[in-house]
Amino acid sequence: MTTLSGGFLGTIILIKNDASLPIMTTILLIIEALAWILATDAIKYDKMYFEIRRIKDDSEERTMLLAEKNKALQEKQNYEIYAATLRERNRIAREIHDNVGHLLSRTILLTGAAKTLNRDKNMESLLEGLDTSLNSAMNSIRSSVHNLHDESETLREIAEGIIKDFENCTMEYDMSEIIPNKIKYCFAAIIKEALSNVIKHSNATAVKIVLREHPALYQLCIEDNGKGYSEKEADSKGIGLKNMQERVTSLGGTLQINGKNGFRIFAVIPKQQD
């Protein structure tokens, strides 16, 4: 409780010394004094309340900023690990191609020469089996090298590589660097097919590619300012819409085609929920 102030004490003394004051007036003076005390307490309470709210708001804001910084640091760390992994895969692929691939190629050539020069029928089956095994190993290594190389590239790098020889083609990339491989290969194939169609059919002078990631889905939009097509005409010209549709549908997504005022491809693929 607030300590009685000098004004309130004075009022009490005045009431006590002046017996002539009517009772009603005395009561009103007491009520007024109590109201003054309550008002003073209310002001102090409001100040304390707003101070507590300010401290709470500041604390929540700092907590949110800290969470955002932690999230950004975690994403940066994850990307650095991912980028390092991709670089290592690329290095391994190069070493396999340059070293093991070279040795296998040389051995295959020597085996072929040995088969040609061989006159011993007992050695024919042995050399044939050796040649088959070496060629199988070479095919396996080629497949592994290609897979390693494909996985060592991000969608941004793949898309930039596709569009680098196309004039007046711009790209807006708003996606994380780490996305599922099946999404990466699907979008890369659609971009490649769409730009091929621009050259063959569209007569466009400008192409815009937008790759965007949302909380629940991945989005690809490709637009040009060419002459456009009707859906029936597009199919007849063989621009590969069916393959695009099958790729997107296989991942649970949707593909929209619009041939008015240029040509527009809009693909949406949902993220998989754990």
Query: What does the pLDDT look like over 41-94, one tens digit per residue?
Result: 778 887 888 888 888 888 888 888 888 888 777 767 776 766 676 677 777 777
Bridge partner list, 266: 221, 256
Taking residues 200-218, report their average pLDDT. Answer: 89
User: Does 173 score more than 80 pLDDT?
Assistant: yes
Write down the residue that tokens 């590589």 correspond to.
161
Q: How would you class 74 by CB atoms within 10 Å of its CB: exposed for 0-12, middle for 13-18, buried for 19 or more?
A: exposed
* Domain range 155-270, CATH architecture: 2-Layer Sandwich (3.30)
Is-contact 21 15, C-beta < 8 A? yes
Task: Judge whether residue 271 has pLDDT over 60.
Answer: yes
What pLDDT was estimated at residue 135?
85
Q: What is the DSSP string of 108-175?
A: HHHHHHHHHH---HHHHHHHHHHHHHHHHHHHHHHHHHHHHHHHTS-HHHHHHHHHTTSTTEEEEEES
To which H or E segment does residue 220 belong?
Answer: strand 217-224
Residue type, 51: E
- The Cα–Cα gap between 208 and 141 comes to 38
- Tokens describing residue 54: 């300010």
The position carrying tokens 């240029």 is 262
For residue 224, count CB atoms less than 10 angstroms from its CB and return exposed for 0-12, middle for 13-18, buried for 19 or more: buried
Q: Which two tokens stand for residue 97?
A: 């191609």
Query: CA-to-CA distance for 29 and 39, rounded, in angstroms?
Result: 15
pLDDT at res. 170:
92
Query: pTM for this one?
Result: 0.52
